[in-house]
Structure 1
Amino acid sequence: MKLQKDAGRGDMGAPKRIRYKAMRYVLIGDDMFYRMLEGLLLNCLGPVESNRLLHEVHEGTCGTHQSAHKMKWLIRRSGYYWPTMLEDCFKYYKGCQAC
Structure 2
Amino acid sequence: MYTMRNNFLYKKSFLGPLFRCVGLQEDEMVIREVNEEACGMHSGFRTIVEKIVCLGYYWPSMYRDTSNVNKSFISCQRHAPQIHVPSHKLIPISSAWPFHKWAIDLVGPLSEEKHLVVAVDFFTKWVEAKPLKSITGKKIVNFV
Query: Would you call these one fold, judging by a TM-score over 0.5?
Result: yes
1:40 matched residue in structure 2: 17
- 1:94–1:43: structure 2 CA closer, same or farther, 3 Å change rule? same
Aligned-pair CA distance for 1:62: 3.2
TM-score (norm 2): 0.49
Residue by residue over 1:32-85, the C-alpha shift from the partner in whole angstroms, topping out at 9 and shown as x without a partner, is 001111152111111121111111111114301111110000000001111111
The answer for unaligned runs of 5 or more in structure 2 is: 78-144
Partner of 1:56: 33
In structure 2, the partner of 1:27 is 4
Name the structure where helix makes up a greater proportion of residues. Answer: 1
Q: Which residue of 1 aligns with 2:91?
A: none
Rounded Cα–Cα distance in structure 2 between residues aligned with 1:61 and 1:39: 23
The residue number in structure 1 matching 2:43 is 66
Q: Matches of residues 81-92 of structure 1 in structure 2 within 5 Å? A: 81-92=58-69
Paired letter, 2:63: L
Distance (whole Å) between structure 1 residues aligned to residue 42 and residue 16 of structure 2 = 30
Whose strand fraction is larger, Structure 1's or Structure 2's?
2
Alignment-derived partner of residue 94 in structure 1: 71
Instruction: Tell me which stretches of 4 or more aligned residues in structure 1 moved more than 6 Å.
Output: none
- Larger radius of gyration between Structure 1 and Structure 2: 2
Q: Which amino acid aligns with 2:52?
A: I
Match for 1:63: what amino acid?
G
| Alpha-carbon distance in 1 for matches of 2:17, 2:4 | 14
Q: What is the identity percentage for the equivalent residue pairs of Structure 1 and Structure 2?
A: 28
TM-score where L is the length of structure 1: 0.70
Give distance in 2, aligned partners of 1:70 and 1:59: 13
Segments of 5+ residues of structure 1 without an aligned counterpart are 1-23
